[in-house]
Homo-oligomer: A and B are copies of this chain.
């Protein structure tokens, strides 16, 4: 039927493989910083690396010497309970192309959470030393790198609002609305269809619901004619009603004017 859209194709440029950063990687959030910063980043990149789907990239407590910019695919960050069982995970963030995955590793040195690829993914690595040099050279570039991590924190706060205040259906709708906006900024939403390479058990870890209840919520959204979540993508049928159900307001994403 439709092309298998379960994941973002790692190389859609028709066989031309990528060994360095170039302008077509400048999308999403990093695309909203100065072009001058981007030029500096291009020279600071020490490595382009591919990750397999579900591959762990770094773990809580690891000493980090590099930060990674996501170029293609999607990644997640999650916290594992210090408790007994290993199933006690919360997804605290999802990354789209153009997002730095662990830029906060620069000021923090080690992280409080794990980082993993969700789909097959391609990342650009920047040595912290090089990033510090960029910051030392330009306070404005420093402010913009800081800004990227502050958008991340604003999203954390919104997720807090979501799990604290929204009912299951509204919570899932809200999450889809957020990805709709963020992936649009990467040019990944076509015909109201966005890549959503998350299992229902992943959606459960995002929202704090059980897997079974996520299944029921998806059915409800589908039967209400709002959106269909299936096969690693989400088809939005009625964006207005979906947003109204979630009470969605995109200002926390600091949209460009």
Interface residues of A, Cβ cutoff 8 Å to B? 60-61, 77, 79, 81-83, 88-90, 92-93, 104, 106-108, 112-113, 132, 135-136, 139, 142-144, 146-147, 149-154, 156-161, 163-165, 205, 207-208, 247-249, 251-252, 254
Bound Cα distance from A157 to B91, whole angstroms: 9
Copies held by the complex: 2
| A207 / chain B contacts, CB cutoff of 8 Å | 164
Q: Which residue of B lies closest to A164 (CB)?
A: B208
Bound Cα distance from A151 to B151, whole angstroms: 15
- Asked whether, in the complex, the Cβ of B161 is within 8 Å of the Cβ of A61, the reply is no
CB proximity of A11 to chain B, nearest CB, Å: 32
- Asked whether, in the complex, the Cβ of A104 is within 8 Å of the Cβ of B165, the reply is no
| A88 / chain B contacts, CB cutoff of 8 Å | 165
Bound Cα distance from A254 to B202, whole angstroms: 28
User: Assuming the A-B contacts A156-B156, A165-B208, are A108 and B142 also in contact, with contact meaning beta carbons closer than 8 angstroms in the complex?
Assistant: no
- Contact partner of A107 (CB less than 8 A), chosen from B93, B112, B143, B158, is B143
| A150 / chain B contacts, CB cutoff of 8 Å | 104, 107-108, 149
- Asked whether, in the complex, the Cβ of A160 is within 8 Å of the Cβ of B92, the reply is yes
- Contact partner of A156 (CB less than 8 A), chosen from B89, B139, B157, B252, is B157
- Asked whether, in the complex, the Cβ of A161 is within 8 Å of the Cβ of B252, the reply is no
Q: Which residue of B lies closest to A138 (CB)?
A: B136
Bound Cα distance from A203 to B163, whole angstroms: 15
Q: Which residue of B lies closest to A156 (CB)?
A: B156
| A107 / chain B contacts, CB cutoff of 8 Å | 143-144, 146-147, 150
| A142 / chain B contacts, CB cutoff of 8 Å | 135, 139, 142, 146
CB proximity of A64 to chain B, nearest CB, Å: 13
